[in-house]
Amino acid sequence: MSVYPNERTYEAMYRNVRFWKRELSDQILLSYYMGNILKNDGTIDLPGGKVSDNNPHLFDNYDRMFEIFLEDVTLEKNTSYKQQILDDDIRIPIAYPELDFGNGMPGAIFGGKVIATSSQRRTHTFNEPVIKDWAQIKDLKFDRNNKWVKKIIDCLKFFVANDKENNYLIRPFIVEEGANFIVSIRGTTQAFYDLVDNPPELKGLYEIGYRVGSEFFEIKREIVKEHNAKVLGNKKFAEIAPIHSVPLLDMDAYALCSPKIFKNIGFEYKQKILNHFGGGLFYIHALGSHIVPIAAHLDNLTEIFLHDDPNCLKYFDRRIEMRKQTFDIPLEMFCGYTEFMKALEEKTLPGGIKYIILLDDPKRFSIEFLNDLMKKVKKYRTKALMGKPKK
């Protein structure tokens, strides 16, 4: 029997739904990230372990993949402590099995050779270029019987089947339909030449990325949707949450491009897929903050996650500037406890943003202390945001 949903989970879901519907533009949300992911230089370090040729690839062993998930997000680990904290995290574990199939899949499903490296707890992939000549674009067909398509579908079904008590959610992988897709199909160096030169064939490749990315996501969503809805027990949240309802979209390669490239072609296809699903989420690395003002003009955006990078100005330090650039789009960003408290006292926290406080030592703060802070957060009010100007 699932331990979810419970009263604190319902409250968090309610606030998140309002957040995504842009009804909290004069308010803020807060989530506590509990785990030691901060390196000495203040950047984020997610665990994975040392890569070695001796480590087996996890996409060949769903049992081991599942075992690692349970070890990393043990349902009993800190459950009592975490479930008593009344922040805006729904605190339901989320499995992300496709992560170990990696970024090589957009090319692999079209026959591209997969290059894989593994640690004991993670597998990373890329792929060799699929087409070297534009004449080959006619051969790019999506086949549900492709080896990698079948493996991904089987893996998702495995995770659904193994949750006997509805204790975790399952999230499909990022939809790489834009510049990341071009990189996967053409190879890194050639892809960036293509993005700069913008040959006539590039538009056709974008069209394939959009069409296939949408179709494959729909297939995967159908596998996990019913399961996730049961775990959530909240129809409104299940219909809008970018866990499975709408896709997480690629923006990585655009961070390495000039704003002109995203504006000239990337924007058009990002808008097509957002319109197709009626929503979508993406993250923009701090290295790519120059594309934030352009991305802000997209319609049907569910949320933008502003992700910090090493040697870049933190988004939290630019929160007022970012808020002005993005109108009333729901935003999410990391911050430290001390800087958040200072901004809260000074009333310099723009609304319509979920702030994630990184707590590398959660037990340093009592449950009562963190919940008292949440009471202050829920009372916090600021100037309501203006929506995007009409065209």
Beta sheet of 331-335, edge-to-edge order: 28-34, 353-359, 331-335, 303-307, 281-285, 248-249
pLDDT at 42: 44
Residue 67: CB atoms within 10 Å: 12
**Counting every residue, how long is the chain?**
391
Confidence of residue 362 (pLDDT cuts 50, 70, 90): low
Confidence of residue 53 (pLDDT cuts 50, 70, 90): confident
pLDDT tens, position by position, 229-274: 999 999 999 999 999 999 999 999 999 999 999 999 999 999 999 9
Higher pLDDT, 43 or 212: 212
Query: What's the farthest any 2 CA atoms get from each other in the chain?
Result: 64
Q: How far apart are CA 191 and CA 179, in angstroms?
A: 8
Percent of the chain as helix, strand, coil, to the nearest 5: 50, 15, 40
pLDDT, mean of residues 62-75: 87
pTM over 0.85: yes
Confidence of residue 186 (pLDDT cuts 50, 70, 90): very high
How do 248-249 and 353-359 pair as beta strands?
A: unpaired
Q: Can you read off the two tokens belonging to residue 360?
A: 């590398």
pLDDT at 52: 81
Residue 101 has pLDDT above 80, yes or no: yes
Residue 46 has pLDDT above 80, yes or no: no
pLDDT tens, position by position, 108-133: 999 999 999 999 999 999 999 999 99
pLDDT at 166: 87
Q: What is the DSSP string of 293-313?
A: HHHTT-SS--EEEEE--TTS-
- Mean pLDDT of all residues in the chain? 92
The full set of domains in the chain, from first to last, is 7-379 (3.20.20.210)
Higher pLDDT, 42 or 70: 70
Residue 333 has pLDDT above 80, yes or no: yes
pLDDT tens, position by position, 369-391: 999 999 999 999 999 988 888 76
pLDDT at 3: 66
Cβ(325)–Cβ(315) below 8 Å: no
Residue 177 has pLDDT above 50, yes or no: yes
Residue 315 has pLDDT above 80, yes or no: yes
pLDDT at 83: 83
Q: Is the peptide bond before 5 cis (omega within 30 degrees of 0)?
A: yes
pLDDT at 51: 83
Mark residue 198 as left, alpha or beta (left: phi above 0; alpha: psi -120 to 50; beta: remaining).
left
Cβ(311)–Cβ(39) below 8 Å: no
pLDDT at 237: 97
113: Cβ–Cβ under 8 A, 6 or more apart, which residues?
Answer: 127, 128
